[in-house]
Chain A
Amino acid sequence: MTLMQKIITIAICAFATMATRFLPFLIFREGKPTPKYVQYLGKALPAAIFGMLVVYCLKNVDILGGSHGLPELIAIIVTVALHLWKRQMLISIAGGTVCYMMLVQLVF
């Protein structure tokens, strides 16, 4: 690729990203009422998206081979338990991450 072609490729990536981020706001403008169905989606989607993002983070976990996803499972249980106990986001995340690092570096 020439420098110009590289710049164009990067610009296309930036454009595509911005298109997906701005499109809903361009279609459903401020000041105009948002259709009921879209309002419903706006409320129903987030919980589903967060579920999808968790699965997305774990997409490369191989349950059948390697460590069978055990370090991930254990670390998630620790994260959830810490969070239900203390309800402090930073403690839960730090605890789960340290647990995972120890598991993959020392145990598995």
Chain B
Amino acid sequence: MKKESVRLKALRAAFPFTIPIFAGFWFLGLAYGIYMNVSGFSFWYPMLMSLVIFGGSLEFMAVSMLMSPFAPLQTLLVALMIQARHLFYGISMLDKFRGMGWKRFYLIFGMCDESFSINYTAKIPEGVDRGWFMFFVTLLNHFYWFSGSTLGGIVGSLLTFDTKGLDFVMTAMFVVIFLEQWLKEKKHYTAWIGLLASVVCRMIFGADSFLIPSMLCILLCLTAFRSPIEKAGGLS
């Protein structure tokens, strides 16, 4: 098979998986661009930040950082805490990214929540190159986020149509991905650990600071119950 058709085939296979992300990223990206726009930043800021950071929650947070006095150490710590969940994604992707050559670098660079979730769970059709499939999922997501936030930064406040509730598209996507994973597993110990640990930590630590405690709690539970979980089997 020619190289061109390998790529085209992978792009065709990858695109449908990214449609919900297109909706979600354009909505959130526009919101982010508008937010920067009304905070007094030129569209260059959301444009460049969506390219080099490519992490929504931190980029929203960075707006208030950019409007406060310069505090590099605090910025670093806050950014590391918001982004710490990527460590888990990396550990889960160690095997799947093996032997991807130069693509591996971009796959890791662009491993946001959504790219990770799709690349981890998607049933890649037979005959489609895995590396190119994951590459295009990541590239398309990156492009949606980049174009959405740039557009928001430019046309920003001109938009007035009623999009209230559209952000639920991300929640719905993660619900479906969670459900797919759930249906794939025989036992649901780890899914329960993730849900319960996060809910309990959300109640104790509040909406803005429960991610790190949740991650520690999940790690602790998975470590403590390693032998029953492994004995139960069914880990794909």
A5 touches B87 (CB 8 A): no
CA of A72 to CA of B229, assembled, Å: 31
Contact with A along B62-101 (1 / 0, CB 8 A): 1001110110100110011001111111111111011100
Which range contains the number of A residues in contact with the other chain? 35 or more
Residues 62-108 of A at the B interface (beta carbon under 8 Å): 71-72, 75-76, 79-80, 83-84, 89-90, 92-94, 96-97, 100-101, 103-105
Chain B residues lying within 8 Å of A54, measured Cβ to Cβ, are: 171, 174-175, 178, 195
Chain A residues lying within 8 Å of B169, measured Cβ to Cβ, are: 93, 97
B141 to chain A, nearest CB (A): 14
- A2-B70, A22-B108 known, 16 other contacts, Cβ within 8 Å: A5-B70, A9-B72, A10-B52, A16-B83, A20-B80, A21-B90, A24-B93, A34-B95, A38-B91, A40-B230, A47-B178, A48-B197, A58-B171, A93-B20, A94-B20, A100-B165
Contact surface of A with B, Cβ cutoff 8 Å: 1-2, 5-6, 8-10, 12-25, 28, 30, 34, 37-60, 71-72, 75-76, 79-80, 83-84, 89-90, 92-94, 96-97, 100-101, 103-105
CA of A59 to CA of B12, assembled, Å: 35
B124 within 8 A of A: no
CA of A100 to CA of B27, assembled, Å: 15
A10 touches B92 (CB 8 A): no
A56 touches B52 (CB 8 A): no
* CB-CB nearest in chain A for B165: A101
- Residue among A2, A53, A84 making CB contact with B178, cutoff 8 Å: A53
Can you name 7 A-B pairs with beta carbons within 8 Å? A9-B66, A13-B49, A21-B89, A40-B226, A50-B181, A51-B195, A71-B165
B65 touches A9 (CB 8 A): yes
CA of A4 to CA of B103, assembled, Å: 32
A97 touches B168 (CB 8 A): yes
Best-buried of B175, B215, B219 by chain A (most CB within 10 Å): B175
